[in-house]
Each structure stands twice: as structure tokens, then as C-alpha cells.
Amino acid sequence: MATAAAQRTARPQADGAAAREPADYQRVFDAAVAADERIEPRDWMPDAYRATLVRQIAQHAHSEIIGMQPEANWITRAPSLRRKAILMAKVQDEAGHGLYLYSAAETLGTGRDELLDKLHSGRQKYSSIFNYPTLTWADVGAIGWLVDGAAITNQVPLCRCSYGPYARAMVRICKEESFHQRQGYELLLALSKGTPEQHAMAQDAVDRWWWPSLMMFGPPDDESQHSAQSMAWKIKRHSNDELRQRFVDICVPQAESLGLTLPDPDLTWNEERGHYDFGPIDWSEFWDVLKGNGPCNEQRLTQRKRAHDEGAWVREAAAAYAAKHTGGAEAAAHETTGAERA
């Protein structure tokens, strides 16, 4: 039986190294996806598959770096050194997630400059959840528990995504997201068991973040434009509604342990389905925030562009250093060769 590696070397590659007839390309790609193999950067892939991945990975990368803002807002006001250290580590992790993901997009031939330009000019989106403000310290806990929790539910199946570099980036990201989720849960637990004011602050944060977290899974399956094709390509493994239900089922008992309530009077265990039923989601709010009318859309993008402009000198210095370093190595190699000739 041929090993996966042997099959991969036989697969037509984008540079035509093992190319046969054009129809072979699609057939071999389809067979690799069907066999649950990973598609790698040099493999041939349909243009639409590449475009879908670039769009999804870019939106994911943008969400990681824009998502740093609402929480970074609380670093200077964290209530203790311990909380400050945890929050700083978490926000730095999100920057790292952005880097892994921009690198994954680069393997598809789309540079970071181009993607950042599209983010800054509003041509590419980031997750709408980050257009809500962080009003109190408890929001840091609610984001960790609910927003990072929803992200994990979405992202664990992406570790098996058909595109290799994206799948591998997700493995590390998911490990770090689970730390984020736990720190949020632990923070909310401390507040919930604290003074009545602290408990009320935790409850208020959960009340505000619950519904936007459910919207993170995207529109209902019958309205989701890209879902069916992404599932056929094994980029996605589960539908939006399936993942949303999984998240609700995880959160209900956790909310009980936290001593907090979820703001949905329709939330009840459905014995027949073996899942929790939940109330209707206000999709008009989702579309409105997506269109740019959320409470913080403008602030997030302005801040991002300012950070990018202010970081220009760092990028220039790094590029100059790299050029000098590479130039120096080349010159040294040249000298050696010259010496050998002499």
C-alpha cells in the first residue's frame, strides 16, 4: 500500500513538476481531500479553494489582532499584578495567533501587506464580536470564558482542515485558546464568589456578551453562503448551527458552576434532542454590526491603522537589518570563494 508521503510526491504540483493532463489535477486533488490527506502549498488546488482559504485565514488573522484591543484596554487597570501578568500574556498570545495565520496565508501566495491593506481599507472583515466595548473588568472574564470558548469550539475542528499549514497553525492556537478560556472562567468565578457588587458586575458582563458570542458561529445554516462548499472541501467539518449548539450545551452547566445565569428565558434541556433549546437570535443586530454600525467599529479600525503607521519604523529597521545581514553573509561567501580561487 502506498504511504501518504509517496502519494503526495505523485500529486501534481502547482509548478507543474509532476503534471499530467489538466483533468488529472482536479481528480488528484479531489482524491486527496476524500482520503483526508493534507493539501500542501506546492500542491495544485482549485482557484476557488485557494481564494476561500485566503478569505477565511485573513479574516481569522485580522480577528486575532483586532481582538487584542478590547482586552488591552484593561491591562493598565488590572486589579492585581497576577491578573495583569495573565492578561498581558493572553493579549500577546493573540498577536502570535495573528502571526501564525498571516504566515499560513502567505503560503497561499498572498502577502501580509496586501491583507493588512485590505483590513485597513475595510475590504476584509474581522469578527464582529470585537466591535463591542469592554465596559468593566468583568468583561475580561466574560471574553475569556465566552468569546475564547466560542473560538475554541469553532477552531478545534479546524485542526483537521484539509489545508496543511492552516491545520497545523490551529493546533498551537487551540492549546493557547484553552488557557484563555480557563483564565476567563477563573476570573468570573472569583468575581461571582466575591462581594455582591462583584457578583453583579460578573452577571452584567455575561448578560452583554452571551448573545454576541452565539453570533460568532455565523449565520444560520440555511443563510450561510460559503458553508456547503467549505464542508465539501473539508475546510469546515461542522455547520454553524451544529457548532453553536455544541457551545450552548457546554456553557449551560459551566454557568451553573459559576453561579451566574445566561440571559435567555428559553434555555431549557430538551430530553428528546439531547441538547439545550435556546431562544431566537437577533440577526438584525449581527448584520448591523457587520455593516460597520457596531459600538466600536470605527474606533477599532482607527486604532489599528494608527498602530500600523506608528510601527512603520520598526518594519523599516527590521527590513534594513535583514538586508544588511543577508548582504553581509553573501559578501562573506564571496570572500571565501575568492580566497579559495587565489
Chain residues binding Fe ion by CB under 5 A are: 64, 94, 97, 148, 177, 180
Contact partners, residue 203, CB within 8 Å, separation at least 6: 192, 260, 261
> What residue type is 244 in one-letter code?
R
Q: How far is the CB of 91 from Fe ion (least distance, A)?
A: 9
Residue 2 grid coordinates? 502506498
Using the minimum distance from each CB to Fe ion, give the nearer residue, 97 or 300.
97
Q: Which is nearer to Fe ion, 33 or 119 (CB)?
A: 119
For the bound state, the minimum distance from the C-beta of residue 229 to Fe ion, rounded and expressed in Å, comes to: 25
Residue among 264, 252, 282, 239 nearest 145 (CA): 252
* Beta carbon of residue 15, minimum distance to Fe ion (angstroms, whole number): 33
Residues with Cβ within 8 Å of 220's Cβ and at least 6 positions away in sequence, in order, are: 240, 241, 283
Q: Which is nearer to Fe ion, 127 or 240 (CB)?
A: 127
| Cβ-contact 166, 53 below 8 angstroms | yes
Residue 87 or 214 having the CB closest to Fe ion: 87
* Between 11 and 60, CB nearer to Fe ion: 60
Instruction: State the minimum distance, in angstroms, from the CB of residue 156 to Fe ion.
Output: 13
49 or 126: whose CB is closer to Fe ion?
Answer: 126
Shortest distance in whole angstroms from residue 148 CB to Fe ion: 4
CA distance 253 to 249: 8
Closest distance of CB 38 from Fe ion, Å? 22
CB of 185 to Fe ion, least distance (A): 13
Nearer to Fe ion among residue 67 and residue 218 (C-beta): 67
C-beta of 12 vs 98, nearer to Fe ion: 98
CB of 61 to Fe ion, least distance (A): 10
